[in-house]
């Protein structure tokens, strides 16, 4: 009986791919165990310098803790090392099998190859030229909510972002494959499906676009909620928003990256919109969907971001009344346009700005939650933990109650300060 374990760093796409790898091992008769595994897979991240550091530390820590285990490394960190021709670093990693962002679906085959030859495997591809690597999941253990990866790669090339280089160009899962996967997940008990990808809203398999996909998915019997993990503001076109406004299965929650509230900085970032476009679209979304919650991402300390630029961002975010801001201090990624820019911002200034924006985000989050005190909302309960039954409303307010609830089912709960989990 061979035991395996998987550690996932980074985004929801990695989470999905790790779940697929997990199922591959189970199908081959392996047993999942976090105690003395024989095989340990580390699915890495490289979105920031900190992500690289965490990936390196994780590989070192796992190999030291389990010296007898076969270590398999995959994902964005290893792909980035290959792209930068850091072959010696890859060779020196404490791992037996090292791949990038292709062939994750073949990890068990690579393991068989290693067990036969007992020779280190390092296998990479130019991800700008690869096809979509199809993966389909039938069941995600102990989860009411299931992720479905519909797309990979990105063609936007924002000036700060390494992802197009480590994930490749935009490519999509076949329309029929997405429909069949969601149907199977719903059949196996999942009430909520989250569509995910590197650039989810740009989905296009050559015959069907994102709106076509949404239109078909909401027809699936038994599907209670359909959630979009993240979508760019300029992909929320008239067709997509029409479906969003008309169908209750599409939940009133959107994560729409902003990145900066300064038009000057947005232009330097090579974002494809300005503040006026973003604001008008947010206002329109609120006019067509009741109880909608809009969260966002913001980068602070982008090269040459002045105090005036940052203040402009703060004022814009407060004006928009977004629910929550996910904050990222700017991180130089070698090979990107921004890494070559001058006027880099001092680390202490970035920390100060992060704290200011965190305070604003907390304030906005509290204001949003306060609108629901005393209001009855439908909560899909997902787990019991530390004496609380935990779940989410459709607009992604996390709720925890002591009263016994039926897991994986929806109950109506009156929200208050005590049961809203921040």
CA contacts within 13 A on the Cβ side of 51: 25
Dist. CA 60–CA 48, nearest whole Å? 19
Q: What pLDDT score does 74 carry?
A: 98
Q: What pLDDT score does 140 carry?
A: 87
Q: What CATH number has the domain spanning 130-251?
A: 3.30.750.210
CA distances to 21, 32, 35, 37, 109 from 6, in Å: 8, 9, 12, 10, 16
Using an 8 Å Cβ cutoff, are 292 and 286 in contact? Answer: yes
Closest CA to 397 of 384, 380, 410: 380
Dist. CA 189–CA 224, nearest whole Å? 11
- pLDDT 10s digit of each residue in the chain, 422 long? 899 999 999 999 999 999 999 999 999 999 999 999 999 999 999 999 999 999 999 999 999 999 999 999 999 999 999 999 998 889 999 999 999 999 999 999 999 999 999 999 999 999 999 999 999 999 887 678 999 999 999 999 999 999 999 999 999 999 999 999 999 999 999 999 999 999 999 999 999 999 999 999 999 999 999 999 999 999 999 999 999 999 999 999 999 999 999 999 999 999 999 999 999 999 999 999 999 999 999 999 999 999 999 999 999 999 999 999 999 999 999 999 999 999 999 999 999 999 999 999 999 999 999 999 999 999 999 999 999 999 999 999 999 999 999 999 999 999 999 999 98
Dist. CA 347–CA 180, nearest whole Å? 48
List of residues 6+ apart from 111 with CB closer than 8 A: 39, 70, 72, 97
Dist. CA 98–CA 100, nearest whole Å? 7
Q: Which CATH number fits domain 284-369: 3.30.750.200, 3.40.50.20, 3.40.50.1950, 3.40.50.300?
A: 3.30.750.200
- Give CA 213 to chain center in angstroms: 19
Using an 8 Å Cβ cutoff, are 40 and 5 in contact? Answer: yes
DSSP states along 355-376: HHHHHHHHHHHHHHHHTTTT-E
Q: Coil, strand or helix: which one is 82?
A: helix
Q: At what angle do helices 49-65 and 76-83 cross, to 10 degrees?
A: 110
284-369 has the same fold as 3-125: no
Q: What pLDDT score does 31 carry?
A: 97
List the chain domain ranges: 3-125, 130-251, 284-369, 376-414
Dist. CA 160–CA 331, nearest whole Å? 8
In terms of CATH, what superfamily is 3-125?
Answer: Methylthiotransferase, N-terminal domain (3.40.50.12160)
Q: What pLDDT score does 247 carry?
A: 97
Q: What pLDDT score does 87 carry?
A: 86
């Amino acid at each position: 009986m061979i035991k395996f374990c998987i550690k996932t760093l980074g985004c929801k796409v990695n989470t999905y791919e790790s779940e697929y790898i997990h199922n591959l091992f189970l199908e081959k008769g392996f047993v999942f165990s976090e105690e003395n595994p024989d095989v340990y897979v580390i699915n890495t991240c490289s979105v920031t310098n900190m992500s690289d550091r965490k990936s390196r530390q994780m590989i070192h820590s796992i190999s030291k803790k389990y010296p007898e285990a076969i270590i398999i490394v995959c994902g964005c960190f290893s792909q980035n090392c290959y792209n930068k021709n850091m072959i010696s670093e890859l060779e020196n990693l404490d791992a037996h099998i090292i791949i990038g962002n292709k062939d994750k679906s073949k990890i068990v085959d690579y393991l068989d190859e290693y067990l036969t030859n007992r020779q280190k495997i390092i296998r990479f591809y130019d991800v700008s030229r690869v096809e979509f690597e199809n993966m389909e999941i039938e069941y995600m253990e102990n989860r009411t909510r299931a992720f479905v990866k519909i797309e990979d790669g990105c063609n936007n090339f924002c000036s700060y972002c390494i992802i197009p280089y480590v994930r490749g160009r935009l490519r999509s899962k076949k329309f029929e494959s997405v429909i069949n996967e969601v149907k199977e997940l719903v059949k196996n008990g999942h009430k909520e499906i989250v569509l995910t990808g590197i650039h989810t809203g740009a989905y296009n398999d050559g015959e069907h676009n994102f709106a076509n996909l949404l239109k078909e998915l909401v027809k699936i019997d038994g599907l209670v909620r359909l959630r979009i993990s993240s979508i760019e503001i300029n992909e929320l076109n008239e067709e997509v928003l029409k479906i969003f406004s008309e169908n209750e299965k599409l939940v009133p929650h959107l994560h729409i990256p902003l990145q900066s509230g300064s038009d000057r900085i947005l232009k330097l970032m090579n974002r494809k919109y300005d503040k006026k476009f973003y604001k008008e679209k947010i206002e329109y979304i609120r006019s067509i969907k009741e109880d909608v919650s809009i969260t966002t991402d913001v980068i602070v300390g982008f090269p040459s971001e002045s105090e005036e630029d940052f203040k402009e961002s703060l004022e814009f975010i407060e004006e928009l009344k977004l629910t929550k801001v996910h904050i990222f201090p700017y991180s130089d990624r070698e090979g990107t346009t921004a890494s070559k820019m001058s006027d880099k911002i001092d680390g202490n200034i970035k920390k100060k700005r992060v704290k200011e924006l965190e305070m604003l985000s907390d304030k906005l989050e509290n204001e949003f939650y306060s609108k629901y005190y005393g209001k009855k909302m439908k909560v899909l309960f997902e787990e019991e933990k530390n004496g609380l039954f935990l779940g989410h409303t459709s607009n992604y307010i996390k709720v925890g109650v002591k009263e016994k609830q039926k897991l994986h089912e929806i109950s109506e709960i009156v929200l208050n300060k005590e049961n809203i989990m921040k």
